[in-house]
Chain A
Amino acid sequence: MRAGGKGNGTDRSATLGKPAQFSKPTAASEDQYRILFDHNPNPMWVYDLETLRFLAVNDAAVYHYGYSREEFLGMSIRDIRPSEDLARLDENLRLTVVTPVDDPGVWRHLTKDGKIFHVHITSHEVPFGGRKGKLVLAQNLTAQIEAEERLSMALETEKHFREEAEKVNRRLTFLLDASTTLSESFDFQECLKTVARMAVPRIADWCAVDILESDGTLARLAVVHSDPRMVEYAFELQKRHPYQAGAASGLTDVLKAGRTEMINDIPDEMLVARAKDEEDLRMFRMLGLGAVLIVPLLAFERTLGAITLVYAESKRKFTEEDRLLAEDLARRAAIQIDLARLYRETKELNASLEKKVDDRTLELQAANGELEAFSYSVSHDLRAPLRHIHGYADLLARHTGNALDEKGKRYLGLISASVKEMGVLIDDLLMFSRMGRVEMRKSTVDLRDTVESVINSMSQETGGRVIEWKISRLPVVQADQNMLRLVFQNLLGNAVKYTRPRERAVIEIDGKLNDGEAVICVRDNGVGFDMKYSDNLFGVFQRLHSSEEFEGSGIGLANVRRIIHRHGGRTWAEGEVDRGAAVYFSLPESSRV
């Protein structure tokens, strides 16, 4: 469709809006071509390259731009541009005027009611009605661009969510690492250092951990900074500015309220105000405090201390994200710090307990040694004179012969009898003392065998008496054989002794299991005892009967108790006057075979 310049076409401009004459085509085809222009679904127009005025517009242009054909023909192409795009248009016109076919690309056009829409423009130079014109095809891109914008927005949203997810993921990974690292050590100091190390450089340029001591002071226990010099400054500053409860400082507020403090902008005046002297100020500035985030270490509603995070040389600022992360880290750290502190205290307590036990053991060993020396002395020094008295009383009796009258002989007899009695008491006491001292030699002991053997050994005492022995099932235990034999010698001996007034004595020995421990009972139908004295039964030299009535030193049951206690068991007794007695002892579960 090349516009000729020969005027052989019909000037349709008179019909307003109808395309003017096109070159070359025959009259028949011309109508058809005009249809292509008039009814093209995309807006089309021809404008005057010199005046930029519209020379013809099609139906689609009228429809899309909202101007009537008449209005279009009174306008220039500049009138359908937003004013800010005019410069670009002018520039484009200047450049493209030399090229016949042009694809100037995407433009913003203005409708009559001021709406902007995007169009893709293609144009072609044509002679039109004797003028140098340009045929323009405008493809509306609004839908496409909107779709692109929506897509781009969707992509933007997706990117945002992905970033958020990654952030959360990074945070969780960080906290998980933190928890793992923290839980690796129960060492208090190590724990604090771990916290500080984890914070740098992830959420701070340097980090200090301060712990409230039991006396209310604050101890800076860990500082981490990439520069060791700065670590020194941080410690030094803490020393120069000791913590004072109630003093105006960020740290004080955090510790008091248990709430985070975040200062993202620290003006130099603030440093000047805080500094005590030039040196202070120099250090403050050296540390380059850009932004400070102080989070409390809270464990079980107690403030243990605080973590101070500082952005300095990196010039970064703390975000809400950082705050949440720091608080989360602090919570985990606080619990671990609390545990570590408990662990440390427990260890210290244990150590002091062990020390006490050691001290006490030494004391006991010393006391035991003294007791041993005492018994040794008793054994030698008390017995020898007794033997001498007895010996010389005998010699005296022999020496005086018949010169001594009956009374004299009786006196000598009483001396000998008393000395013998005292000898028995000393022997019993020594035995009792030894029972507490001698080493236990545990072996497997069949209590039934022991009982039977003891009964056999008592034939002298039981001879001529009617005694019914009832022995039920008795356990086999881990115990000191000799000691348990002594126990039964005492218990069975007592039973035999205190049933002496009975024509027919009945002595039962039985054993049963009670809550895992073995309980052994020796029961008789003898003279019994009054329960209100049952506590005295097991004491040394405690006797409920006179020695005229029943012989004995009163050490037997004391020995029984001592032996059973040494085996980890208990002793007790039941009885009633004239209705018999039952003496019990238990052996713990650990002694069972």
Chain B
Amino acid sequence: MKSILLAGDNQIDVELTQEALGRNNLANDVVVVGEDGEAPDYFRQSGNYAGRKGGNPAVVLLDLKTPKVGCLKVREEIKGDDSLRTIPAVVLTSSNEETDLLKSYQLGVNAFVVKPVDFHDFMEAVSRPGAFWAIVNEAPPAGVRSG
């Protein structure tokens, strides 16, 4: 099974998201990358990820405190690259502000999940898209370049 790439701008949030994914038996497939350009390194198998195995992740979960900024990065790092563009990106955030939603979709994210305060609700909300994109969804054939 392909991996889930989890990138976030807040360590605690990332940890809780990881916990939620773990409870739904998705933990082994989760790769957590920090900020500061680790995600591009992962995709290009460079830097800390030089020589890593496997292809592109099934989904990128963006655990973002500030979606406007984070999504801009995503666009730069994933959606701007033809070979990465088809990777689904899901935003996990606290915000349900309309402007954030709109901006995120305009920047090319595939799903937008508002994290509930309640931990049980939270676990459900986070693991569902993880499972969907990683297990249920049929990815485009490898090597196909879109655009």
Contact = CB atoms under 8 A, between A and B. Distances in A.
Interface of A: 375-376, 379-380, 383-384, 386-388, 390-395, 416, 419-420, 422-423, 430, 438
B106 interface: no
B36 interface: no
B115 A379 contact: no
B49 interface: no
B16 to A, nearest CB: 4
A416 B98 CA distance: 28
Nearest to B20: A391
A256 to B, nearest CB: 69
A439 to B, nearest CB: 10
B119 A384 contact: no
B119 A394 contact: yes
A388 B16 contact: yes
Interface stretch (B24-32, B74-82, B89-97, B133-141): B89-97
B96 A391 contact: no
Contact of A390 (B65, B97, B98, B119): B119
Contact of A379 (B95, B118, B120, B122): B95
B110 interface: no
Given A384-B13, A388-B12, A391-B16, A376 B97 contact: yes
Given A380-B65, A384-B13, A387-B122, A438 B98 contact: yes
Contact of B94 (A375, A379, A390, A438): A379
Contacts of A387: 13, 16, 94, 115-117, 119, 122
22 contacts: A379-B97, A380-B65, A380-B93, A383-B94, A384-B10, A384-B13, A384-B65, A384-B94, A387-B16, A387-B115, A387-B116, A388-B16, A390-B117, A390-B119, A391-B16, A394-B119, A419-B117, A420-B118, A423-B116, A423-B118, A430-B96, A438-B98
Interface in B96-116: 96-98, 115-116
Contact of A391 (B10, B19, B98): B19
Nearest to A384: B94
Contacts of A394: 119-120
Interface residues of B, number: 20
Interface in B1-31: 10, 12-13, 16, 19
Given A387-B122, A388-B12, A395-B19, A376 B95 contact: yes
A576 B19 CA distance: 52
Contacts of B96: 379, 430
A383 B120 contact: no
Contact of B117 (A380, A392, A395, A423): A423
Contacts of B10: 384
B46 interface: no
Contacts of B118: 390, 420, 423
Given A391-B119, A391-B122, A420-B117, A380 B16 contact: no
Contacts of B97: 375-376, 379
B72 to A, nearest CB: 16
Contacts of B95: 376, 379-380
A416 B116 CA distance: 13
A384 B98 CA distance: 18
A380 B66 contact: yes
Contacts of A383: 94, 115, 117
A395 B19 CA distance: 9
Nearest to A387: B117
Nearest to B98: A438
A512 B22 CA distance: 58
A398 to B, nearest CB: 9
Contacts of A430: 96
A380 B94 contact: yes
B102 to A, nearest CB: 13
Contacts of B94: 379-380, 383-384, 387
A423 B66 CA distance: 19
Contacts of B122: 387, 390-391
Nearest to B23: A398
B67 to A, nearest CB: 9
Contacts of B13: 384, 387-388
Given A379-B97, A391-B19, A391-B122, 8 more contacts: A379-B96, A380-B94, A384-B13, A384-B65, A387-B122, A391-B119, A420-B117, A438-B98
